[in-house]
Amino acid sequence: MDSYSKRKNIIILIFLLVGIVFIVRLFLLQVLDTTYKKTATNNVLREVVDYPSRGLIYDRKGRLMVYNQAAYDLLATPREIGRFDTTLLCSILNIEKARIERSLTKAKKYSKYKPSIIVKQISPERYALLQEKMYKFPGFYVQPRTLRKYNYDNSAHVLGYVGEVSPSMMEDDSYYKQGDYIGSTGIESTYEKYLRGVKGKSYYLVDVHNRVKGSYDRGNMDVSPVKGSDLITTIDAELQQYGEKLLQNKIASIVAIEPESGEILSLVSAPGYKPSDMVGRERVENYPRLVGDSLLPLFNRAVRALYPPGSTFKMMNALIALQEEVITPRTRFMCNHGYHVGSFSMGCHHDREFQLDASIAQSCNAYYAYTFRRILESSKFADVKEGYEKWREHVLSFGLSETIAPEIPDELPGLIPTSDYYQHRVFPYSRWRALPIISLSIGQGEIQTTPLQMANYAAALANKGYYYTPHLVKDILGTDETIVDVEKHQTMIDSIYFEEVFDGMEHVFSFDHQGTARASRVPGIRICGKTGTAENPHGEDHSTFIAFAPRENPKIAVAVYVEYGKWGSTFAAPIATLLIEKYLNDSIQGSRQYIEKNMMEANLLFPDEPNYFKIE
């Protein structure tokens, strides 16, 4: 034996040591450390989102208003893109070469391995062309999406639009991922949670080149998308369309409410836009144009425009005075071309004595100056200030100075000033008196209301003292849930005081009583209404009108505002009565069709175009 044979032990020891180190290392790696399992799964799993179709929207009579249309996004994974004919792709999709190149550069910058959207919202027609040639574009694939489509191209402000989710929204709600659609305004936004449905997921195994190799776990982990819930709105799509036609070429708004339920039948803000203007690729062009328009078509006047209510507010003061028992329906006040106290004067058109009935029909200012003073200066109250506070309480019970429609997030509350407001501004050094704030008696001065609030006020009148929460959605199909609790709001006026006020409102249309809106009389329908003129410091006054009908069983309450329309009787009253007639009778009787024609054609906006209405 050679002298170094013992060295075999050292060598065997080294070999054994390496073996043991390997086994220990493998044990750590495979058995103790579980993170690698997850990494391996992440490596091969590709999650593909299956988009659910968005809930449909119906009108109150079950007419389909909003549905979905297929559109296709073209995606590409930069690493997989082979040689392809850019010109061919551009001609199929009808877009410029530069746009595709820009998208591809952006996609490469984002990730070479992950797909990016190259062209959005390809129409089904173009998709059909593209599909045949798809094999010529390696690395590209198409993902189906849905776009909104409208049967009635109206109600834009009610419905709102669907847009791509913004980064801040994605932060707030992890449901949304880059490129998802979300309701941005209107009920698309309010009811987003119900309309969107639930995204589905499919898992695919991919190889290192991100090529799909098959479904994962035989599709057991896949989740099918759940279709969004359909909505039934309170809107009458035909009435809405009619309202929008009447308001063409005017800055105006209409709100119509069903008094017995609080359901909003129609909500029009003009000038507006077509819902289809905000869909898909059209929005890219239309949105900046609408934002830049000086007539503010995106501005929802029906819930955000603030006007003094004008003479339509007179019923409010009459009812408060009756409730506080400072007048009776037979109380008479003298109008002597207005109301005059010392050097103070508030103009009017009459030279006669008025009772409640005629004061409404002929809209006498002096009558309400007396009435308002009687309320505030009543001996029931310690002083005028306390009287004002009581008056304000009554007014607020009609839903003024607060937001009343929870579904409409951008609604403004308007303003009925608090007593503190007048304390600081009007009576800082003197005691409270009624005279400095006497314009409140005829709905002018500091008070501000929205068309929605005035329609709601009309509904409360129709109901003789209560109103239901105004709302836009009747039902979310397939669920018992609701977003809005429709509550009955009781005003502070007892129902017994309304009939006399209604008499006056009905006589507004009466020739015999020289009613202010007698020209808008609708034979066959007992309408209660009231004209108003909202003071406009910027130009011609605004024409307003509120009404409900039929008197015996009110089905519709309406408020109409037409900016720069001057008298309530010139525009607002005809439009309101046409709307009522249309809603109740479904058609306009022959004797009134010339009014309909005049209203639709009247142009208050563009002096250079036909039918421009010049106010003398």
For other proteins, the binding residues (CB under 8 A) are: 2-5, 7-8, 10-12, 15-16, 18-19, 21-23, 25-27, 29-31, 33-37, 39-41, 43-44, 205-209, 213
Pairing of strands 466-468, 212-215: unpaired
CA distances from 422 to 376, 385, 432, 442, 447 (A): 14, 9, 9, 17, 12
Q: Which is nearer to other proteins, 32 or 382 (CB)?
A: 32
Q: Report, in Å, the least distance between residue 10 CB and other proteins.
A: 8
3-class secondary-structure state, position 574: helix
Find out whether 504 and 528 touch, Cβ atoms under 8 Å. Answer: no
Nearer to other proteins, 90 or 205 (CB): 205
Matching residue, tokens 């007992």: 526
Residue 102 vs 112, nearer CB to other proteins: 112
Alpha carbon 15 to its chain centroid, in Å, reads 79
Q: How far is the CB of 134 from other proteins (least distance, A)?
A: 23
Q: Which two tokens stand for residue 49?
A: 């989102």
Shortest gap between Cβ of 20 and other proteins (angstroms)? Answer: 9
Chain mean position to CA 488: 22
Query: Rounded to whole angstroms, how far apart are CA atoms 450 and 414?
Result: 6
Residue 42 burial by Cβ neighbours in a 10 Å radius (0-12, 13-18, 19+): exposed
Provide, rounded to whole angstroms, the least separation between the CB of residue 198 and other proteins: 28
Q: Which CB atom, from 216 or from 242, has the smaller least distance to other proteins?
A: 216
User: How far is residue 73's CA from residue 75's CA, in Å, rounded to a whole number?
Assistant: 6
- CB 107 to other proteins: min, Å: 18
What is the secondary structure of 94-110 as a DSSP string?
A: T--HHHHHHHHHHHHHH
Q: Is the dihedral of CA 309, 312, 315, 318 positive or negative?
A: positive
Beta carbon of residue 1, minimum distance to other proteins (angstroms, whole number): 9
Q: Provide, rounded to whole angstroms, the least separation between the CB of residue 54 and other proteins.
A: 36
Q: E strands along 431-568, which residues?
A: 466-468, 473-476, 488-490, 528-534, 542-549, 556-562
User: Cβ closer to other proteins: 217 or 487?
Assistant: 217
Of 30 and 495, nearer to other proteins (C-beta) is 30
Pick 39 or 479: Cβ nearer other proteins: 39
State in angstroms the smallest separation of the CB of 294 from other proteins: 54
User: Nearer Cβ to other proteins, position 124 or 219?
Assistant: 219
